[in-house]
Amino acid sequence: MQDTWTTHLAEQALDQRHRGLWRQRRILDPDRALIDFAGNDYLGLARDTRLAEAQAEGARRFGAGARASHLVSGHLEVHEALEAGLADLTGRPRALLFSTGYMANLGTLQALCDDRTAVFQDRLNHASLLDGAALAKARSRRFHHRDLGDLERLLRRSPPEARKLVVSDGVFSMDGDLADVPGLAQTCATHGAWLMIDDAHGLGVLGALGDGSVGRVHGMDRVPVLVGTLGKALGSAGAFVAGSQALIEHLIQFARPYIYTTAQPPGVAAATLKALELLDTEPERRRRLDDLIARFRREAATLGLPLADSPTPIQPLVLGDSARMMHWAGRLRERGLLVGAIREPTVPRGQARLRITLSAAHDDDDLDTLLQALADLQREDACHGEAVTP
């Protein structure tokens, strides 16, 4: 006889399959010649051997693991140096290192909010931001994507005595478009709210110094709570929160996902320090990326592909129907091209998309191959459309 748990799991699996939403992992063989247009390694640092060397050296010097949480005995010199480097990059007095971006968002929202806090989130914010507010038992009101008028309306309706926190991605991870940081900051100022920006996809890519969509241009008076992640453009792993002395001390005291976890492996922190150095000494990586983005957009527009309005390395092609999108992703894979195949619930239903990401590591031939394959798929679709239309 099946127990209730086994039955429950089988039912859930069947439902997920029936809805066409079954998710699968694939083992990516680093030596097989797939061209990766799916990752977030925007500057091509993840496989730079200098990061690997720094990581190995960090591990030799400090150990493979940190051995304890930051507050017990796991906070090492290399973590402290990295925090100083991140504070400097973002123009804030202090930064606090977390093991992942997911945990940074959980910890920050949990430590700042409680059931009396009014949290306002862009509808397309990353899942970890919603989960963080839920962990704090704070209610998230969601405003229409990039719609300051809608945010204003929600703020006006919230109780004047409530502490208010407005939360947005800096660069939206599935759309590649940017938050209007000055506009959000202005609205926050009017209502006495704080602004928290998660710049996971902006850091390293945008800004004169690779300091991101917030960085040094928008100081703490506008964006008191800044989150950045280190597993994307910086090519390693982890995340940080940057802000005032008081904010960082508050997180050290109260952020449970900071307190109750082992500190990041020191080699990883050493690799990130090397990435910060390369951000500074090799600005040509950002220029190369900008050139690739411009070229992709120009040629995709000529082909009539459904480009989104994105100035960043995230260049989604919204195909709408998830079966059509999966077909395109499969055909691209057959041709040695890896792209993100994104559907609900990650994006709203009917907005399934290929999430194509560009990297300074791509060469011109890589982009040619991609554009050619997309042109062929576009033509096949058009022929197919003609065949069924009377």
Ligand X SMILES: *Cc1c(COP(=O)(O)O)cnc(C)c1O
Cβ atoms of 327 and 256 closer than 8 Å: no
| Site membership for ligand X, residue 235 (CB under 6 A) | no
Q: Of 166 and 373, which CB lies nearer to ligand X in the complex structure? A: 166
Q: Which residues pair with 339 in a beta bridge?
A: 37
Contact call for residue 200 and ligand X (CB under 6 A) = yes
The full length of the chain comes to: 390
**Nearest residue to 129 (alpha-carbon basis) of 174, 167, 91, 186:** 167
**Is residue 42 part of the contact set for ligand X (CB under 6 A)?**
no
Q: Residue 58: how many CA atoms within 13 Å on its side-chain side?
A: 25
When the beta carbons of 169 and 177 are compared against ligand X, the nearer one is 169
Show the tokens assigned to 382. Answer: 């058009």
- Residue 353 or 369 having the CB closest to ligand X: 353
Determine the Cα–Cα distance for residues 196 and 122; give it in Å rounded to an integer. Answer: 11
The C-alpha atoms of residue 39 and residue 46 are separated, in whole angstroms, by 10
Q: Are 199 and 213 in contact (CB under 8 A)?
A: yes
Q: Is 128 in the site for ligand X (CB under 6 A)?
A: yes
Q: Choose which of 79, 146, 164, 201 interacts with ligand X (CB under 6 A).
A: 201
Task: Give least dist CB 38 to ligand X, A.
Answer: 13
CB of 227 to ligand X, least distance (A): 7
- What span, in angstroms and rounded, lies between the C-alpha atoms of 198 and 162? 23
Query: Is the Cβ of residue 177 or residue 198 nearer to ligand X in the bound state?
Result: 198
Q: Determine the Cα–Cα distance for residues 390 and 379; give it in Å rounded to an integer.
A: 18
DSSP summary character for residue 264: P
Cα–Cα distance measured from residue 197 to residue 142, given in angstroms and rounded to the nearest whole number? 15
Number of residues near ligand X (by CB under 6 A): 14
Decide: residue 240, CB within 10 A, 0-12 exposed, 13-18 middle, 19+ buried: buried
The residue (of 36 and 169) whose beta carbon lies closer to ligand X is: 169
Residue with Cβ nearer ligand X (241 or 373): 241
Q: Which of 41, 122, 169, 175 binds ligand X (CB under 6 A)?
A: 169
What's the burial of 82, exposed, middle or buried (CB within 10 Å: 0-12/13-18/19+)? buried
Stretch that binds ligand X, among 47-55, 196-204, 285-293, 304-312 (CB under 6 A): 196-204
Q: Which of 62, 102, 120, 143 binds ligand X (CB under 6 A)?
A: 102
Nearest approach in angstroms of CB 231 to ligand X is 4
Q: Give whichever of 104 and 367 is closer to ligand X, judged by the CB atom.
A: 104
Please identify the residue of the shown chain whose CB is closest to the bound ligand X.
Answer: 101
Contact range with ligand X by CB under 6 A, out of 99-107, 208-216, 280-288, 316-324: 99-107
The binding site for ligand X (CB under 6 A) comprises 100-102, 105, 126, 128, 169, 173, 198, 200-201, 229, 231, 239
